[in-house]
Amino acid sequence: MTSHILVVDDEAAIRHFLQRALEQDGYEVTSAGTVEEASSALELNRPDLTLLDLKLPDGSGIELLRKIKSRVPRMPVLMMTAYGEVATAVEAMKAGANDYLIKPLHLEQVKVVVERALSEAALWLELEHHRREQRRRFEKDFVRGASEKIKEIYDTVEKLAENDSTSVLIQGESGTGKQVIAQLIHQMSPRARGPFLEINCAAMPKELLESELFGHERGAFTDARDTKQGLLEMAHNGTLFLDEVGEMDLGIQVKLLKVLEQMTFRRLGGTRDIHVSVRIISATNRDLEASVAQGTFREDLFYRLMVLPVKLPPLRDRGQDILLLARHFLAELSQLFHKNFRGFAKGTEQKLLSYSWPGNIRELRNVIERTVLLEDGSLLEPHQLKVAPSRPAGASEGPLEVLRSFLEEGWDGQGGIPFEEIVAEVEKALIVRASRMTGWNQSRTAELLNVSRDKLRYRMKVHDLRSQDLAA
């Protein structure tokens, strides 16, 4: 799409010079010689960028700049000024100008500055679109819940959101919605217009995680061909969510502690401190106090992260929230897959409530998704829902422990074996273990597991290991 530029200058020769040069570069150009003409042009066809002279015969360029910025804050405005008026140009920058050019104008410089300003504006629009989409998806997917335990959580979240600088640690079993709570804190805070970035600290090797967090300078290591911003830098004025923070290497923990205390860091290979304003929200399903005792997690970092802890209850302790969430997922996924499910049969609701949901909300959604995809009907019947009605002894230990107990001790005839959950956990454990052995190289991991690379990537996506792609 062709960008539209408005050139405002009282000298016809300059207007003609700029219009001809910019049109040759493919821009659509409108010119004006006065404040009145410029105002009319702005009303008639709003440009993507304005080149504006400081001195105009019927008014001040700075006053027109303020008028533009009050109506279209994000439109780039480049001021044009004579050599002896640099001080006035500085005043224009304070009033919102994006840059300034000194007369006599140099064509190549004009083109570079114009292209840069338009690129920055396009990047901002893309970022805003992404944020709006993120907020829209979040609002669509978010289900508050009605249980007393979850109400207490949301009361705490509202208080946390008010203070947008204090670090937060979210604890809970896998699948309880730690990421959702982190996003909620961000969306309700003054940082909501800033970025929300996230990274899984267990998903990549130490060296890659360090580079992703802090960035690197060109030549910092063998493959560092260009300077790269890290997530901390990119999350400036926003929120950075560190999932599985308990898996972070001790060396990176030291650097993270400095960020939390001073809001400064250096890129890998860098020599200057970079100052940021970032809220750090962390999450873990580990017992960090035990990790501190074992020496795998720094005590000072633990207390720095634990300033405002949030403990999420498992789904099995949320009572009727199970049905509330299940109905939400059923309606959403029925629409997505063009199915006609309107609700659950009475026996199905009892089946949902009797299952312990060791995978929590994530498992509930996956079960509903699989069922809706494979079954048909208006009411989802009990036989269509593939979950075990209860768990065998030892089930609280986790799927792999249940498998071990079953193989060693047999089955007591009560309840059933969570077959699909066990198979999924075994598959996931194999992928993670093989990936660690191969340094997260997907081709070598696929070869080790005797599967195709495409099948490996698909299974990683199924098990929510998509972030491993970054380390391939």
Q: Give 364-413 pLDDT, tens digit per residue.
A: 988 999 999 989 999 999 989 887 544 444 444 566 667 766 775 565 54
CA dist., res. 157 & res. 154, Å (int): 5
pTM above 0.75, yes or no: no
CA dist., res. 274 & res. 214, Å (int): 10
CA dist., res. 166 & res. 307, Å (int): 7
Contacts of 197 (CB under 8 A, 6+ apart): 231, 234, 235, 238, 239, 240, 241
Q: Does the structure show a pLDDT above 70 at 416? A: no
User: Nearest-CA neighbor of 140 among 351, 271, 329, 277?
Assistant: 329
Higher pLDDT, 18 or 205: 18
Report the pLDDT value the prediction gives residue 320, as an integer from 0 to 100.
Answer: 84
The answer to whether 164 and 206 have CB atoms below 8 angstroms apart is no
CA dist., res. 274 & res. 259, Å (int): 10
Report the pLDDT value the prediction gives residue 123, as an integer from 0 to 100.
Answer: 79
Tokens of 109: 């410089």
CA dist., res. 408 & res. 401, Å (int): 10
Report the pLDDT value the prediction gives residue 408, as an integer from 0 to 100.
Answer: 59
Report the pLDDT value the prediction gives residue 470, as an integer from 0 to 100.
Answer: 37
Report CA-CA distances (Å) from 452 to 167, 434, 435, 468.
Answer: 42, 14, 14, 16
Query: What is the distance in angstroms between the CA of the first residue and the CA of the last residue of the chain?
Result: 35
